[in-house]
């Protein structure tokens, strides 16, 4: 393990943990991702380095150990799925928090009827366009 | 031939999940049939391994250090059988519930089962990691399906704490591979004594933390009550019965394969005692039925882990007995809660007054389950707790004995508190909710019937556990001896 990889590993894990502790939820997702990548890097670094582990490249002894690469690949796939899921979850969770009971009180009337599901509205703005944006929307 | 039971156990629910999606109109039938197949496979594994010994399958026929090994022993057999029983009960009880309106509910529960079964029978650290991820992703799906139930708000904590645990798990797997050149239990166990003691301690600690998070040991189990309470009670039954048990079985594998030093298991014992008491204290403060039951899951896991921390045959056997009892009874109690919801539309203890009179069957089932949970004789809880107490006394673990005593008394208090809430002359809340009529009322009646039947079935099985406690305990003893016999595992898998 060279110094460069060790520094990379420490940076990934360290900044991952730092971001995880952040109050801002999107940053925690980023933190979880970095931490995961740190773990994947450590897995990749195990085992022998060498030629590409293909049948017609190098000799049995000169080829790199393929097992950690297989493990890392699996972990990356799972990590990507988790990150995507987590982002979708955060979006939904913000909607739930700023939804009917988390909103600032709106005047009774047609707009006070159950809010239209915002998840299928890519702009993230209320459809009627008349209401003032909630604090969450301002932040976005 | 019997080794084919292992892939059937894992792939069965996965195929079932696919079929349920292919024929969504028949999802009740397909889901129930799949659960029956899984139950048959699990029972087959239990019967095959009851005499001690293992079933080994090298996936794809690849020889051991290269391929992935699946190993079924009595530990896996007992855990898989009771889990499959709960799966079946949940598939029956889902009928007519609001949760079943989403086509994806049954497939997701089946995928969850796939992960759970894989975690029980795998003999490979990395496969265990994958199994955990399958379980988690499925449980995230269930948890966040009903956004208005607060699940969405409970989810980020749950997901993040489990995501961190997964990363630590992966770091530990990297450590194991770096130290031994393997991730399979058998080759790792073979190379383990030659590994540097400091590195061994680091790896065991990391894995212990991960599995403790999955098993919801305090203080790492803080994610549990909010997450479970956000689930509809039917799915709560699946989660409470299956999720944490994966962590317990993983802890069993950890202490048997990686041979931790006595200090580590002493710490585990203390954590277990703190967990069993802390869980009940949380439960005492809760005011709704399924929150009380969810908090008790934490406490019960503490009981199970005591047996694991003793690391001897008697302790592990007691843990297996307790696990069987707990999964069945906890599943049944949460299904009773599902029945109560279907009937009254609420789970707040304050509003459940009079249930004893208006729904004597549900209240009676609850009383039976509560007695078992508190460990009153002659229920399965009593049998399991006696086994655990004898194991602790035999190992001079007096802290555990004291902890179990106090936790049991507090559990009884908590259960009496809940049952008292069901007595008395309340108005029947159902009368108002059902009076609205229409399909909602028939669905409610159907859901209540399903939940009652499923809960009664699970409780009957739990009664079976106490009736056949002798033979079951003998089988658990032989299974524990097998699980602790690491040299046997090494020869069987590697030869």
Please indicate whether, in this complex, the C-beta atoms of A68 and B159 are within 8 angstroms of each other.
Answer: no
Predicted complex ipTM: 0.80
Q: Over pLDDT 70: what percentage of chain B?
A: 94
Residue A98: what pLDDT? 62
CB A67 within 8 A of CB B127: no
pLDDT value at position B403? 86
pLDDT band at B441 (very low <50, low <70, confident <90, very high): low
Q: Which residue out of B167, B178, B180 would a mutagenesis test of the A interface target, given it has the greatest number of A Cβ atoms within 10 Å? A: B167
Rounded Cα distance between B74 and B80, Å, is: 9
Cα(B372)–Cα(B91) distance, integer angstroms: 23
Please check the confidence at residue B361 and state whether its pLDDT lies above 50: yes
Q: What does pLDDT average to over chain B?
A: 84
**Helix B313-344 vs helix B289-310: angle between axes, to the nearest 10 degrees?**
170
Q: Is the pLDDT of residue A129 over 80?
A: no
Q: Which of A32, A39, A86 sits opposite B174 (nearest CB)?
A: A39
Q: Is B137's CB within 8 Å of A81's CB?
A: yes
Q: Is the pLDDT of residue B2 over 80?
A: no
pLDDT at position B424, please? 64
Which pLDDT score, from 0 to 100, does residue B426 have? 57
For residue B169, name the pLDDT band (cuts at 50, 70, 90): very high
- B219: preceding bond cis by omega (within 30 degrees): yes
End-to-end CA distance of chain B: 18
- Is residue B14 pLDDT above 50, yes or no? yes
Indicate the residue of B126, B155, B173 with minimum beta-carbon distance to A89.
Answer: B155
**What SS3 string covers chain B?**
CHHHHHHHHHHHHHHHHHHHHHCHHHHHHHHHHHHHHHHHHHHHHHHHHCCCCCEEEEHHHCCCCCCCEEEECHHHHHHHHHHHHHHHHHHHHCCCCHHHHCCCHHHHHHHHHHHHHHHHHECEHHHHHHHHHHHHHHHHHHHHHCHHHCHHHHHHHHHHHHHHHHHHHHHHHHHHHHHHCCCEHHHHHHHHHHCCHHHHHHHHHHHHHHHHHHHCCCCHHHHHHHHHHHCCHHHHHHHHHHHHHHHHHHHHHHHHHCCCCHHHHHHHHHHHHHHHHHHHHHHHCCCEHHHHHHHHHHHHHHHHHHHHHHCCHHHHHHHHHHHHHHHHHHHHHHHHHHHHHHHHCCCEHHHHCCHHHHCHHHHHHHHHHHHHHHCCCCCHHHHHHHHHHHHHHHCCCHHHHHHHHHHHHHHHHHHHHHHHHHCCCCCCHHHHHHCCCCHHHHHHHHHHHHHHHHHHHHHHHHHHHHHCHHHHHHHHHHHHHHHHCHHHHHHHHHC
Quote the CA–CA distance of A67 and A8 in Å, as a whole number: 22
pLDDT-wise least confident of A106-115, B6-15, B445-454? A106-115
pLDDT score of B249 = 92
B208 vs B421: which has the higher pLDDT: B208
Q: pLDDT by residue (tens digit) across B53-101?
A: 888 888 887 776 777 888 888 889 999 999 999 999 998 888 877 777 7
User: Over 60: is that where the pLDDT of B275 sits?
Assistant: yes
Average pLDDT over residues B288-316: 87
Q: Is the pLDDT of residue A103 over 60?
A: no
pLDDT band at B40 (very low <50, low <70, confident <90, very high): very high
Kindly determine whether residue A35 and residue B152, on different chains, have CB atoms separated by under 8 Å.
no
Between these two residues, B445 and B108, which has the higher pLDDT value? Answer: B108
Q: How confident is the model at residue B113 (pLDDT cuts 50, 70, 90)?
A: very high
- Interface residues on B facing A, Cβ-Cβ cutoff 8 A: 126, 129-130, 133, 137, 140, 144, 147-148, 150, 152-153, 155-156, 159-160, 163-164, 166-168, 170-171, 173-175, 177-178, 181, 183
What's residue A45's pLDDT? 85
How does pLDDT run across B364-392, given as a tens digit for each residue?
Answer: 888 888 888 888 878 888 888 888 888 88
Pick the residue from chain B with its C-alpha nearest to A1: B178
Res B492: pLDDT: 84
Q: Give the pLDDT of residue B129.
A: 92
Write down the pLDDT at residue B150: 62
CB contact under 8 A, B160 and A92: no
What average pLDDT does the segment B297-305 reach?
A: 88
What's the whole-model pTM score?
0.86
For B445-483, the pLDDT digits (tens) are: 888 888 888 888 888 888 888 888 888 888 888 988 888
């Amino acid at each position: 393990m060279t110094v460069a990889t060790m520094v990379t590993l420490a940076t990934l894990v360290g900044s991952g943990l730092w971001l995880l502790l952040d109050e801002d939820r999107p940053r925690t997702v980023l933190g979880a991702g970095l931490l995961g990548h740190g773990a994947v890097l450590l897995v990749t670094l195990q085992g022998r380095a060498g030629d590409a582990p293909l049948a017609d490249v190098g000799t049995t002894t000169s080829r790199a150990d393929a097992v950690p690469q297989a493990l890392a690949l699996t972990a990356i796939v799972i990590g990507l799925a988790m990150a995507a899921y987590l982002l979708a979850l955060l979006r939904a969770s913000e909607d739930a928090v700023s939804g009917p009971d988390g909103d600032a009180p709106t005047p009774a009337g047609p707009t006070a009827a159950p809010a239209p599901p915002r998840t299928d509205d890519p702009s993230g703005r209320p459809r009627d366009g008349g209401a003032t944006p909630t604090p969450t929307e301002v932040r976005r | 031939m019997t080794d084919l039971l292992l892939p059937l156990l894992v792939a069965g629910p996965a195929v079932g999940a696919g079929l349920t999606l292919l024929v969504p109109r028949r999802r009740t039938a397909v889901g129930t049939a799949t659960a029956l197949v899984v139950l048959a496979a699990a029972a087959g594994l239990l019967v095959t391994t009851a005499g001690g010994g293992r079933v080994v399958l090298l996936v794809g026929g690849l020889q051991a250090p290269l391929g992935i090994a699946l190993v079924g022993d009595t530990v896996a057999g007992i855990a898989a059988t009771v889990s499959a029983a709960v799966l079946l009960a949940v598939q029956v009880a889902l009928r007519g519930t609001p949760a079943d309106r989403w086509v994806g509910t049954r497939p997701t529960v089946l995928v969850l089962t796939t992960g759970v079964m894989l975690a029980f029978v795998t003999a490979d650290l990395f496969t265990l990691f994958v199994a955990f991820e399958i379980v988690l992703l499925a449980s995230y799906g269930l948890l966040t399906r009903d956004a208005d139930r607060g699940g969405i708000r409970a989810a980020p904590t749950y997901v993040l704490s489990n995501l961190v645990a997964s990363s630590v798990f992966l770091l530990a797997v990297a450590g194991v591979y770096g130290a031994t050149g393997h991730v399979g239990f058998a080759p790792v166990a073979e190379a383990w004594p030659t590994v540097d003691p400091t590195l061994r301690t680091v790896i065991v600690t990391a894995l212990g933390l991960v599995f403790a998070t999955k098993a919801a040991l305090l203080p790492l189990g803080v994610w549990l009550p909010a997450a479970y309470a956000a689930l509809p009670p039917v799915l709560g039954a699946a989660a409470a019965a299956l999720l944490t048990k994966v962590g317990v079985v993983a802890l069993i594998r950890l202490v048997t394969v990686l041979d931790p030093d006595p200090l580590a298991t002493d710490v585990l014992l203390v954590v277990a005692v703190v967990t069993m008491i802390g869980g009940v204290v949380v439960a005492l403060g809760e005011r709704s039925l399924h929150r009380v039951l969810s908090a008790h899951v934490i406490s019960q896991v503490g009981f199970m882990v005591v047996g694991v921390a003793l690391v001897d045959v008697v302790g592990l056997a007691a843990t297996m007995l307790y696990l069987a009892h707990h999964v069945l009874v906890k599943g049944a109690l949460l299904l009773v809660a599902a029945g109560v919801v279907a009937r009254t539309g609420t789970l707040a203890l304050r509003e459940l007054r009079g249930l004893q009179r208006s729904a004597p069957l549900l209240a009676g089932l609850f009383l039976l389950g509560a007695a078992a949970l508190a460990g009153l004789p002659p229920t399965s809880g009593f049998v399991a707790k006696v086994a655990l107490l004898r194991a602790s006394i035999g190992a001079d673990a007096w802290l555990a004995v004291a902890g179990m005593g106090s936790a049991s008394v507090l559990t009884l208090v908590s259960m009496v508190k809940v049952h008292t809430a069901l007595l008395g002359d309340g108005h029947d809340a159902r009368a108002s909710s059902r009076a609205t009529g229409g399909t909602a009322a028939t669905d409610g009646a159907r859901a209540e019937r399903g939940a009652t039947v499923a809960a009664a079935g699970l409780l009957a099985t739990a009664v079976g556990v106490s009736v056949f406690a002798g033979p079951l305990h003998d089988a658990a003893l032989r299974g524990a001896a097998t699980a602790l016999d690491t040299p046997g595992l090494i020869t069987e898998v590697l030869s």
